[in-house]
Amino acid sequence: MICYFNHLLAPFVGVRFPIAKPFVLRAQNPMASDLSSDNSVFRGVSSSPPIRRRDIVFVVNPRGANGRTGKEWKKLLPYLQSRLGSDCNICESLTSGPSHAIDITREAIREGVHAVIAVGGDGTLHEVVNGFFWDGKPVAHQKIEAVHSTALGLIPLGTGSDFARTLGWKNDPREAIERIAKGVRSRIDVGVISREGEGSCYFINVADIHLSAKAGYYASRYKKFGNLCYVIGALQAFMGHRNQDLRIKVNEGEWQTCSQVTALCVGNAKYFGGGMKITPNADPRSGSFEVVILQDFKWYDFLLKLHKLYNGTHLSVKNVTSRNVYTIEVDDISGSGSIFVQSDGEHLGFLPRKLSILPAAIEMIC
């Protein structure tokens, strides 16, 4: 069975969808009779209590990868239904704009669904992960009878799919459906980024500061060029770029100065920027971040060492350092307020920021 979450109303204020029932809710043309207590609207449904089926919500960004995600998803639906339809209520929810996936995920978790599956790239996954949290705490089921936690899943169909690379997954949606069918779960870490006076933001892949974050900011404007957007973004970011002295505090220790920082990357996973293995020793099940700092890099350093950044052998390069941390605070010594910060390829603003690991925060279908 396929049901449809209302994908036009966001945020879901005071709305509860009884997705455990066999029903169809079409957001484009909702009818009162669909939600009626009259069982006649459920044609062919026995009045006896149905066997409990797993409710799985698929959060799809139809505009992802220049519309390719939506097209691929439509092609995938028949196979998905044939593989999972006998055991699961397949609940499709199409996002309508930024942050919509966060709202969908929170509502689904409160309803006690078995799993929320991000369908798309790292941007969609980033929003779904943030939907697992609210006001600094994990979102909880509101149903007393819920005996399991909602799992996170992924069908990579976007531009980047960098987190899938860390787990060794191919960019194969049918293979992803097989993982969902098997339902094997493993707990993974999540990073949280905070700033005094602001709400927290969560990330599952890599957070980065300064040049790489600026490149990601510009790259987001050129997604129509596919992975080439990262190259274009980097070239634009280099224009007028200056290395900066930063203050860092590791594991609640003393402040120390890092001079002439080009980029500072905090990895819960290994890859960012369309396949660059920037934090090669990061592991989302380790309980710690890998922090890689590039200092005093010039534009030609990137050209000469780009292959090392992509294959993860750059840690032996001069002016590159790596360490494992549980928390790291980063501030701009100059106080310019212009040092970019991003996480999972999403622009967050500027320094200062504190980044902390949340060990085993989410169960993931893997």
CA within 13 Å, CB half, 163:
33
What are the extents of the domains in the chain?
A: 54-183, 198-359
Q: Please check whether residue 150 is in contact with residue 185, taking contact to mean a CB–CB distance below 8 angstroms.
A: no
Q: Please check whether residue 115 is in contact with residue 152, taking contact to mean a CB–CB distance below 8 angstroms.
A: yes
198-359, which class in CATH? mainly beta
- pLDDT band at 28; cut points 50, 70, 90: very low
pLDDT of the residue at 144:
53
Task: Answer whether residue 66 shows pLDDT above 90.
Answer: no
pLDDT of the residue at 13:
35
**Closest by alpha carbon to 96, among 1, 9, 217, 207?**
9
Greatest alpha-carbon pair distance for the chain in Å reads: 72
User: Lowest mean pLDDT: which of 44-48, 154-158, 271-275, 332-336?
Assistant: 44-48
Average pLDDT over residues 347-355: 96
**Closest by alpha carbon to 189, among 64, 324, 346, 314?**
324
3-state helix vs strand vs coil in the chain, percent to 5: 30, 30, 40
276 DSSP assignment = B
Give the dihedral sign, CA 60/63/69/72.
positive
End-to-end CA distance of the chain: 24
Q: Which helix (H) or strand (E) holds 39?
A: none
pLDDT of the residue at 197:
87
Q: Which helix (H) or strand (E) holds 207?
A: strand 206-210
- pTM of the predicted structure, to 2 decimals: 0.85
Q: Please check whether residue 158 is in contact with residue 131, taking contact to mean a CB–CB distance below 8 angstroms.
A: no
Q: Please check whether residue 364 is in contact with residue 205, taking contact to mean a CB–CB distance below 8 angstroms.
A: no
Residue 250 three-state SS? strand
Residue 349 three-state SS? strand
pLDDT of the residue at 247:
97
Average pLDDT, the chain: 85
pLDDT of the residue at 138:
96
Q: Please check whether residue 330 is in contact with residue 158, taking contact to mean a CB–CB distance below 8 angstroms.
A: no
- Residues involved in catalysis: 122
Average pLDDT over residues 172-183: 96
Task: Answer whether residue 238 shows pLDDT above 80.
Answer: yes
Give the dihedral sign, CA 80/83/85/91.
negative
Q: Which helix (H) or strand (E) holds 336?
A: none
Task: Answer whether residue 161 shows pLDDT above 60.
Answer: yes
pLDDT of the residue at 29:
29
Q: What one-letter code names the amino acid at 166?
A: T
| Cα 287 from Cα 290, distance rounded (Å) | 10
pLDDT of the residue at 4:
60
pLDDT of the residue at 262:
96
Q: Please check whether residue 329 is in contact with residue 148, taking contact to mean a CB–CB distance below 8 angstroms.
A: no
**Closest by alpha carbon to 294, among 246, 261, 339, 316?**
261
If you search the block for the tokens 């779960």, which residue do you land on? 185
Task: Answer whether residue 133 shows pLDDT above 80.
Answer: yes
Q: What is the phi/psi pair of residue 175, to 5°?
A: -65, -40
Pick the residue with more confidence: 49 or 226? 226
Q: What are the tens digits of pLDDT across the range 96-113? A: 999 999 999 999 999 999
**Annotation: CATH topology of 54-183:** Rossmann fold (3.40.50)
Average pLDDT over residues 81-98: 94
pLDDT of the residue at 21:
33
